[in-house]
Structures are given as C-alpha cells and as structure tokens.
C-alpha cells in the first residue's frame, strides 16, 4: 500500500488521525489483490508458520514480498532451497516510478521499573546508533538491516554474500531500494489495529468475503476504536 500511494494512516501527533481504507486508491489496491486471490495465485498460509516456511522451501511458493530482514528468517527455516533465492526490487505499478515500502522497524526501549534506567538508556542509544553496534545488528546471525547510514553506504555491506542467495549480493538490492522508501506514519494504536485485523481479515483467507468487504469493515471498526480513545478522525 505504501508503494501504491494508498497507505491508509496519517498521524503527526496529538489527537488527530487519518484512517482511510475505503478511498478510491485503497479500493483499487484491494481489488488488485482480490483478483490474485480469486485466481488462486496467492497462498493463504500464516506468516512464519511451519507450513509457510515449508512452502517456500519446497517450491510451492515462488516468491515472497518481504523486507530486507527476511533473509535472516529464511536462512534459519529453510534447507533444501539454500542458494536458490535472489533479492529483487518490488514490481512497480508504473514504469515512471521506483518506489518501495517498509515492513517493520526496530526500537530499543527501556522498560518501566528497570533498576538502572540511565545506563539502559545509554546502552540503547549506543546499540541503535553506532557503527560498532550496527555491525552486530547487521550481521547474518542478527538478521536486521541497518538504519545507520555509514554502514548502509559501506562496500562491505553491499558486496556481502550469504548462503541463502548463493553468489549474488542481496544487500546491494536492499541498499538501492532504501533510497526510494515512501515515508509513512503508523497510528498510535497500531497494536490494537493489528489485533482487530486478525478477525476482520479471516474471512478473506477462508473465502467468505472479499478484500474490499474486509477493508470496509476494518475502516468502520478502526474509526470506532479511535474515537473511543479520544481521537478526532478524518476518513
């Protein structure tokens, strides 16, 4: 949705939030994916489940639209297809665009009640913003992808190879893609939204509703929730 220019949330702090799953761009996005679902071109397994990894490893699934951290997860869960995978940029809706989206992002937080908050905060700051720490975070074992630009620009990162991808250089693809990420803002109640989404979109997976119908249901539910939490909502 980020790449397609129809990300449904906008939030810049305070009490106002935008929620839009039913605009024309969002419904066109839903229609695109519903066509793929109806044509049985998409596997309905849950992300990161045993059958999910099995399907990737056995050739049931030919591709995975994922993030730059995905090789870390794949390497730990596939065996037969080691060496066969290649990274590629997302397909574009238009030849005039070269856009990408971001799935996730990491945060290092100091929890309430910790005995040493100052030291913990100093460590979190070091761990998330120094070249030494990002060499740890960006290692194949860690599976993270650098948000630290000096490492992102380093030839060592770009030219690295991993067994999952044979002699290819997947990081070179990810680094190039990072320059075209579409900025987004998650709403402050995203955890609740993800929880509600599990039930709302269940009907899409079992074939009892379309993505378009689920988007409408999701829109109504999220607006009600946001308003119940004191937010002013633009739809």
Tell me the domain boundaries of the chain.
9-67+183-234
Joined together, the tokens standing for residue 148 give 């630290």
Joined together, the tokens standing for residue 213 give 């119908």
Q: Under DSSP, is residue 150 helix (H, G, I), strand (E, B) or coil?
A: helix
Q: Under DSSP, is residue 176 helix (H, G, I), strand (E, B) or coil?
A: helix
Strand-strand pairing, 16-19 and 232-234: parallel
Q: At what angle are helices 190-200 and 211-228 packed, to 10 degrees? A: 140
pLDDT tens, residue by residue, 35-45 = 999 999 998 88
| Predicted local distance difference test score (pLDDT) of residue 220 | 98
The radius of gyration computed from the CA coordinates of the chain, to the nearest angstrom, equals 20
| Predicted local distance difference test score (pLDDT) of residue 95 | 84
| Predicted local distance difference test score (pLDDT) of residue 142 | 66
From the list 181, 182, 165, 175, the residue with the least C-alpha distance to 68 is 175
| Predicted local distance difference test score (pLDDT) of residue 106 | 72
Question: Which stretches in the chain have pLDDT values below 50?
Answer: none
């Amino acid at each position: 949705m980020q790449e397609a220019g129809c990300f449904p949330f906008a939030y810049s702090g305070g009490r106002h939030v935008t929620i839009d799953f039913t605009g024309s761009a969002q419904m066109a996005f839903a229609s695109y994916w519903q066509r793929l679902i109806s044509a049985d071109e998409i596997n309905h397994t849950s992300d990161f489940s045993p059958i999910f990894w099995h399907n990737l490893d056995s050739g049931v699934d030919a591709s995975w639209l994922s993030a730059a951290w995905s090789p870390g997860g794949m390497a730990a869960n596939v065996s037969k297809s080691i060496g066969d995978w290649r990274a590629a940029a997302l397909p574009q809706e238009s030849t005039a665009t070269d856009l990408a989206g971001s799935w996730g992002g990491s945060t290092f937080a100091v929890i309430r009640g910790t005995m040493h908050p100052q030291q913990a905060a100093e460590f979190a700051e070091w761990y998330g913003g120094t070249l030494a720490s990002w060499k740890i975070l960006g290692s194949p074992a860690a599976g993270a992808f650098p948000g630290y630009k000096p490492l992102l620009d380093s030839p060592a990162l770009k030219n690295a190879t991993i067994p999952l991808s044979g002699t290819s250089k997947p990081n070179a693809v990810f680094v190039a893609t990072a320059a075209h990420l579409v900025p987004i803002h998650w709403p402050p109640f995203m955890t609740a939204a993800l929880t509600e989404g599990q039930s709302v979109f269940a009907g899409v997976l079992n074939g009892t509703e379309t993505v378009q119908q689920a988007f409408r249901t999701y829109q109504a539910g999220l607006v009600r929730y946001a308003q119940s939490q004191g937010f002013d909502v633009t739809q």
